[in-house]
């Protein structure tokens, strides 16, 4: 039983069918001037339009990438390097790719403020506003935290940034194709295909066409110089198809509540925000006295597959970023594990998972 949709999801049948058809019929290089290239280019532009419509942004600002990780790095570096200001605001719980970009910018002389989360797993608007300085160039705050599923107030943060003339980027890898994004007036956004039923190795960024940006690698031709290399037209077509349908949030809440019912009265600790600021498909938990890695292995032995957090941090021994950003100690953070549901998850599977966790928690208590 698979409970790790936040790491990756199986491809939707419609997306896989689209991939195969596009690979068979639209194999030309989109930059080639002949008819075969033109056919592929027309399909690419139609996909760009579909992704833009799903995100509520302008088609001219969509650029396809090889992943959400690459997208975050390209978006942040492109925006940060376009001006002369050298201060950036982000959170301590961002994806590893965001931290990677920030560390590189620090080596170039930028000053980065990393904000904590509050006890509800949220980066407050006030904390962002209070961190703004005259030399603040960019704010980057994720939409949905990939570890505990809390929804950040990015609409209000984007508005505050715009009021101060500061660029705003948001990592929407965990929310694109799942939540409504149209109200986020961001200058840059990051999306990924495989988190919502599309293929791996494909993503996109939105960079507002109203702003000039500095390409990370000058002189490239594909994707208007933002991202080099021949585009993977079949993967992009599958990405656009997968984005046309979204999981039922009501169904995900049913699954979450079923698990909560099974664990009621146990020692299992939930790490979550209020329902209004919580994506129901991602669940952060701890069993006091037991490392999350051991919980994962115990469930794996029963053919139940969960995570100890972001797959990009699987080899890290530093604990979960979200847990640490909320003020947990390193020992407490190491007890963290993540469960994530998808459209294929059933209520019976959620109940069986709950019973397995009850058994594991009971063994811990006996120890």
Q: What ranges make up the beta strands (E) of 156-294?
A: 167-171, 188-192, 203-207, 269-271, 282-286
Tokens describing residue 19: 């991939």
Domains of the chain are 13-242 (3.40.640.10), 249-366 (3.90.1150.10)
pLDDT on residue 318: 43
**Rounded alpha-carbon distances, angstroms, from residue 93 to 22, 150, 257, 274, 302:** 38, 11, 25, 18, 31
Question: In DSSP terms, which residues pair with 340 in a beta bridge?
Answer: 4, 282
> pLDDT tens for residues 268-301?
999 999 999 999 999 999 999 999 999 999 999 9
Catalytic residue among 47, 202, 286, 312: 312
User: Which residues of the chain fall short of a pLDDT of 50?
Assistant: 314-319, 366-367
Q: How far apart are CA 64 and CA 205, in angstroms?
A: 6
CB proximity list for 275: less than 8 A, separation 6 or greater: none
Strands 136-140 and 87-91: parallel
Strands 203-207 and 62-65: antiparallel
Q: What is the pTM of this model?
A: 0.93
Q: How far apart are CA 83 and CA 36, in angstroms?
A: 40
Q: How far apart are CA 10 and CA 132, in angstroms?
A: 41
> Quick check: is 312 catalytic?
yes
CB proximity list for 92: less than 8 A, separation 6 or greater: 114, 115, 116, 117, 321, 324, 325
CB proximity list for 120: less than 8 A, separation 6 or greater: 150, 272, 273, 274, 277
pLDDT on residue 367: 45
């Amino acid at each position: 039983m698979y409970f790790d949709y936040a790491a990756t999801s199986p491809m939707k049948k419609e997306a896989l069918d689209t991939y195969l058809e596009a690979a068979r019929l639209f194999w030309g290089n989109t930059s080639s001037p002949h008819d075969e290239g033109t056919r592929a280019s027309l399909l690419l532009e139609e996909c760009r339009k579909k992704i833009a419509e799903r995100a509520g942004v302008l088609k001219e600002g969509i650029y396809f990438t090889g992943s959400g990780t690459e997208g975050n790095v390209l978006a942040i570096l492109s925006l940060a390097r376009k001006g002369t200001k050298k201060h950036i605001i982000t959170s301590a719980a961002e994806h590893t790719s965001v931290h990677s970009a920030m560390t590189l910018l620090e080596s170039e002389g930028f000053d980065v403020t990393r904000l904590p989360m509050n006890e509800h797993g949220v980066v407050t608007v006030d904390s962002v506003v209070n961190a703004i300085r005259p030399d603040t160039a960019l704010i980057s705050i994720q939409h949905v935290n990939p570890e505990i599923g809390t929804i950040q107030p990015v609409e209000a943060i984007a508005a505050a940034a715009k009021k101060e003339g500061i660029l705003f980027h948001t990592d929407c890898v965990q929310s694109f194709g799942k939540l409504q994004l149209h109200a986020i007036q961001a200058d840059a956004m990051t999306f990924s295909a495989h988190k919502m039923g599309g293929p791996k190795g494909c993503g996109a960024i939105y960079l507002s066409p109203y702003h000039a940006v500095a390409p990370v690698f000058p002189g490239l031709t594909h994707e208007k110089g933002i991202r080099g290399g021949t585009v993977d037209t079949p993967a992009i077509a599958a990405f656009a198809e997968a984005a046309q349908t979204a999981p039922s949030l009501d169904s995900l809440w049913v699954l979450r509540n079923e698990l909560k019912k099974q664990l009621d009265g146990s020692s299992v600790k939930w790490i979550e925000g209020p329902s209004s600021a919580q994506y129901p498909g991602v669940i952060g938990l701890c069993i006091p006295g037991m490392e999350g890695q051991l919980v994962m292995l115990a469930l794996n032995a029963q053919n139940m597959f969960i995570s100890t957090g972001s797959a990009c941090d699987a080899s890290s021994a530093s604990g979960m970023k979200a847990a640490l950003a909320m003020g947990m100690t390193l020992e407490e953070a190491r007890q963290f594990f993540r469960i994530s549901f998808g459209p294929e998850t059933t209520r019976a599977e959620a109940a069986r998972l709950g019973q397995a966790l009850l058994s594991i928690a009971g063994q811990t208590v006996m120890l």
